[in-house]
Amino acid sequence: MSYQPVADPASIEEAAALLRAGRICAFPTETVYGLGGDATDPDAVLEIFAAKGRPRFNPLIAHCADLDMARRFGRIEGLALELAERFWPGPLTLVVPLVEASGLSDIATAGLKTVALRVPARPLARDLIASVGRPLAAPSANPSGRLSPTSAEHVRAAFEGRVPVLDGGPCEAGVESTIVTVGPDGITQLRAGALPREEIEAAMGVAVAVASHDAAISAPGMLKSHYAPGAKLRLAAAAPEPGEAYLGFGRLPEGIEGEALDLSPHGDLREAARNLFGFLARLDETGCARIAVAPIPREGLGEAINDRLERAAAPRD
């Protein structure tokens, strides 16, 4: 994928116009610069992954202008609501049940039924989101594997000017938000971050459990919320076997009798990525025991598609 150098927006309104048009734009929060895109627009979210060169579709945080906006997308109730009222705006991300048909792109949630939400403290960030009128997915504005950026200069240098940046000066925290979720057993921290766990405990008067690092962030299937269909998956399958549903890529084989969907008849990886979670869920809903999946090229977004399929296919209890 190649990018032309792009002009930076000179104002919040200009940045909001880019984002409303489905483009990506980096902007500062109190933690780090985020690479923002409309979290309700699958192509904008895919553009974030493509620009970052991120090899996997992990779920992204949807940044909201205020609690009201956040509640249109996530069910924030009970302890989670108390946390939001106490710590928002601020560097605390809440993982809560997704509101059905909320319009959030399933690429932003990686097909999960939960969503990570946060209202940033930085007024500039909130004004931008309010002006766009939709939540912004915004992972750190750095190419995958590089240091998180705390100034517009960092962002420009890391992307060599290929990503527009709303310059708001340096970020204070320089550390990502703390991520917690609320379950029947109370609050669990999924990722340590700018809001110390002790502060949450002191304010709420309850202990905060810590998920093991692997469980929270990386291990497929360990965290229940990691997307996994009920059906088993068989990857790199040229054609389905009897009893299998089929998820094709670039033209379905002739004579398929069972359920089949084509991620992209023309073999377009972006189209395939856009359809990935929805099509898997649709095939899964047919109640088939196994879904055979066509081979998908590994270049570009294909790497993230293959990563997600491999996680979904990994053996689990």
For 63, list phi and psi in degrees, rounded to 5. -90, 130
- And the tokens for 167? 């310059």
Q: Which of 12, 25, 46, 60 touches ligand AMP (CB under 6 A)?
A: 60
Note whether 139 binds ligand AMP by CB under 6 A.
yes
Cα 140 to Cα 134: distance, rounded to the nearest angstrom: 19
Which stretch in 1-9, 134-142, 228-236, 274-282 sits in contact with Mg ion by CB under 5 A?
A: 134-142
Note whether 65 binds ligand AMP by CB under 6 A.
no
Q: Give the 3-state secondary structure of residue 244.
A: strand
Nearer Cβ to Mg ion (158/237): 158
Tell me how far, at minimum, the Cβ of 296 lies from ligand AMP, in Å. Answer: 23
Residue 61 interface partner, choices ligand AMP, Mg ion, none, CB cut-off 5-8 Å depending on type: ligand AMP
Residues touching ligand AMP: how many (CB under 6 A)? Answer: 17
Nearer Cβ to ligand AMP (176/262): 176
Note whether 93 binds Mg ion by CB under 5 A.
no
Considering only residues 105 through 134, tell me which ones interact with ligand AMP, judged by CB under 6 A.
Answer: 112, 114-116
User: In Å, how far are 110, 248, 261 from 275, measured between CA atoms?
Assistant: 12, 11, 10
Which stretch in 52-60, 80-88, 119-127, 154-162 sits in contact with ligand AMP by CB under 6 A?
A: 52-60
Residue 247 interface partner, choices ligand AMP, Mg ion, none, CB cut-off 5-8 Å depending on type: none
Closest CA to 174 of 63, 271, 77, 30: 30
